[in-house]
């Protein structure tokens, strides 16, 4: 299973093509649209979110809400294109000057991308923009719907934003709170402190990053592999997470805390229940050992840096005159941590679905469900 995306931040549309989906998977367009809309929400979002009202258009590979086995083609329209058509048109008569960027912004792909491709910064930032993640959410949500058909659940919450870390105990009550929280946190008092910190950042012209956690529940043991480095599931998940704009770190289970403990405090003891099979007494490994799922929930955390566009911009260089100037300001968010959580949930869904189809290849959903159910019964019997 694979996909490609195309499109610029201010171009006509974002496009995605997904290949390798089994036939007979029911695709809910409203579920994809809901995920796209959740990606646009959250405190601290910028003016672009008031312009775009993202919805997916499915143009191939689905008939009567069922995948046909052919490639699935998706589009998400950029409503802001109406304001940028003269600047971003693929036609010969293009306005090169009105939105030209000559001062690369620190923390962005601007400078290195311009040097690498020997091109104007506008061409770099248009594709490097996090606007690209709208299509990755749409693609990933299709994978998420496939996993849901197999009883696999993906959920996430915000661990921290900036210096504020709300309380968290992984209880059902906290998860219910996450579902209605603007910040995707389970602590109401912590949410109040997050709003206070956001207002301080706005007044200071600053931006905020954070820590996000994704959990994948009801996975069978044995997804991924230890036999080659590029088949290890934690490696694939880490690469996928770090490919999302602004992500600078990823950890599983205890993560970096494991390096500060004795081995007896880190590794998960193994138990056995007749009729249920093997299990771990704890889950410090975050559900992955030796590059494979071990039957416990996969738990990973990602570190998101603050948005690099600042309203009190940092020093940079005018690439034409080589003089020191202040960085340019593209319309931007102060904080996009809750929105990034939506992106990560769907990016992780894609990698998990790939691992499922690698172990259980099937041309149809009926075939896939049957072989996954048989494997679950096998694990219980061992």
- Mean pLDDT of the residues in the chain: 95
Query: Residue 48 — very low, low, confident or very high, per pLDDT cuts 50/70/90?
Result: low
For 168-186, what is the mean pLDDT?
Answer: 97
> What is the pTM (predicted TM-score) of this model?
0.95
Identify the pLDDT of residue 46. Answer: 66
For 324-351, what is the mean pLDDT?
Answer: 91
Query: Residue 50 — very low, low, confident or very high, per pLDDT cuts 50/70/90?
Result: low
For 88-99, what is the mean pLDDT?
Answer: 94
Q: Could you tell me which residue, 352 or 46, shows the higher pLDDT?
A: 352
Identify the pLDDT of residue 49. Answer: 56
Q: What are phi and psi of 224, to 5 degrees?
A: 90, -170
Asked if the model's pLDDT at residue 333 lies above 90, the reply is: no
Of 1-10, 44-53, 167-176, 193-202, minimum mean pLDDT range:
44-53
Identify the pLDDT of residue 93. Answer: 93
What's the angle, vertex CA 61, arms to CA 12 and CA 41, rounded to 5? 50
Asked if the model's pLDDT at residue 70 lies above 90, the reply is: yes
Query: Residue 205 — very low, low, confident or very high, per pLDDT cuts 50/70/90?
Result: confident
Q: How many CB atoms lie within 10 A of CB 381?
A: 9
Asked if the model's pLDDT at residue 51 lies above 80, the reply is: no
Query: Residue 166 — very low, low, confident or very high, per pLDDT cuts 50/70/90?
Result: very high
Query: pLDDT, tens digit, for every residue of 233-283?
Result: 999 999 999 999 999 999 999 999 999 999 999 999 999 999 999 999 999
Identify the pLDDT of residue 331. Answer: 62
The strand pair at 2-6 and 13-19 is best described as: antiparallel
Asked if the model's pLDDT at residue 194 lies above 80, the reply is: yes
Query: Residue 15 — very low, low, confident or very high, per pLDDT cuts 50/70/90?
Result: very high
Could you give the CA distance from residue 38 to residue 48 in angstroms, rounded to a whole number?
Answer: 14
Whether the CB-CB separation of 221 and 274 falls below 8 Å is answered with no
Beta-strand runs (E) in the chain: 2-6, 13-19, 56-60, 62-63, 66-67, 72-77, 153-161, 210-217, 247-252, 270-273, 277-280, 288-289, 292-293, 298-304, 315-317, 324-326
Q: What are phi and psi of 9, to 5 degrees?
A: -55, -40
HSE-CB at 266 with a 13 A cutoff on CA atoms is: 13
Identify the pLDDT of residue 45. Answer: 73
b (16+ CB within 10 A) / e for 352-371:
bbbbbbebbebeebeebbee
Query: Residue 329 — very low, low, confident or very high, per pLDDT cuts 50/70/90?
Result: confident
Of 4-18, 36-50, 178-192, 213-227, minimum mean pLDDT range:
36-50
For 304-327, what is the mean pLDDT?
Answer: 91
For 125-150, what is the mean pLDDT?
Answer: 97
């Amino acid at each position: 299973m694979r996909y490609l995306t195309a499109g610029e931040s201010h171009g006509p549309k974002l496009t995605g093509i997904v290949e390798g989906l089994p036939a007979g998977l029911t695709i809910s367009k409203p579920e994809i649209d809901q995920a796209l809309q959740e990606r646009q929400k959250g405190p601290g979002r910028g003016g672009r979110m008031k312009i775009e009202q993202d919805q997916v258009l499915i143009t191939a590979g689905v008939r009567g809400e069922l995948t046909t086995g052919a490639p699935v083609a998706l589009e998400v329209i950029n409503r802001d294109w109406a304001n940028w058509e003269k600047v971003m048109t693929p036609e010969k008569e293009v306005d090169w000057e009105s939105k030209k960027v000559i001062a690369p912004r620190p923390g962005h792909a601007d400078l290195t991308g311009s040097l690498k491709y020997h091109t104007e910064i506008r061409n770099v930032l248009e594709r490097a923009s996090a606007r690209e993640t709208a299509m990755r959410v749409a693609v990933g949500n299709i994978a998420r719907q496939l996993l849901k058909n197999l009883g696999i659940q993906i959920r996430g919450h915000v661990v921290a934003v900036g210096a504020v870390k709300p309380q968290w105990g992984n209880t059902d009550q906290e998860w219910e709170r996450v579902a209605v929280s603007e910040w995707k946190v389970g602590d109401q008092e912590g949410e109040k402190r997050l709003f206070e910190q956001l207002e301080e950042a706005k007044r200071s012209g600053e931006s905020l990053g954070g820590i996000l956690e994704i959990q994948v529940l009801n996975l069978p043991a044995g997804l991924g592999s230890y036999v080659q480095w590029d088949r290890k599931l934690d490696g694939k998940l880490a690469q996928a997470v770090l490919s999302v704009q602004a992500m600078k770190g990823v950890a599983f289970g205890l993560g970096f805390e494991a390096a500060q403990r004795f081995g007896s405090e880190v590794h998960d003891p193994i138990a056995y229940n007749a009729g249920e099979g093997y299990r771990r007494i704890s889950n410090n490994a975050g559900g992955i050992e030796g590059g494979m799922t071990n039957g416990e929930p996969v738990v990973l955390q990602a570190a998101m840096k603050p948005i690099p566009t600042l309203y009190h911009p940092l020093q940079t260089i005018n690439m034409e005159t080589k003089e020191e100037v202040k960085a340019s300001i593209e319309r931007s968010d102060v904080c996009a941590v809750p929105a990034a959580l939506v992106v990560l949930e769907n990016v992780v869904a894609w990698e998990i679905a790939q691992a499922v189809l690698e172990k259980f290849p099937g041309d149809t959903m009926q075939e896939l469900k049957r072989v996954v159910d048989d494997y679950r019964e096998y694990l219980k019997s061992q």
